[in-house]
Amino acid sequence: MSKTWEHYHRAARNHEKAAYHYNEAAKYNRAEEHEKEAHHAYLAHGYGQLAIHHDTEAAKLHAEQCASPVTPASAQAAQEKSAA
């Protein structure tokens, strides 16, 4: 499993967790239970920040892979040409 995929996967999970906690905060807001609302809003914010971090790391890794002049396929083709 590539590091890029791991970051995208973790980002997706953290986005899901953030959405869950935002929904829970909204429920407690309607029920006027402000301490529980604040707790879930705090957790949602934290998961949102983690998701952003993993999205950023995945994008960096992806950019590094795309900027690399030698890819495994081109390296193999170059070896086949030099062997011939």
Nearest-5° Cα angle at 29, 28 to 32: 85
Flag residues of the chain having pLDDT under 70: 1, 70-84
DSSP letters spanning 37-80? HHHHHHHHHHHHHHHHHHHHHHHHHHHHHHH-S--HHHHHHHHH
Q: In the prediction, which pLDDT does 67 show? A: 86
Sorted by where each begins, the domain ranges of the chain are: 3-83
Per-residue pLDDT, 31:
96
Supply the pLDDT for residue 81. 64
pLDDT number for residue 84: 55
* Residue 68 pLDDT: 76
pTM for this entry: 0.74
Q: How many Å separate Cα 67 from the centre of its chain?
A: 20
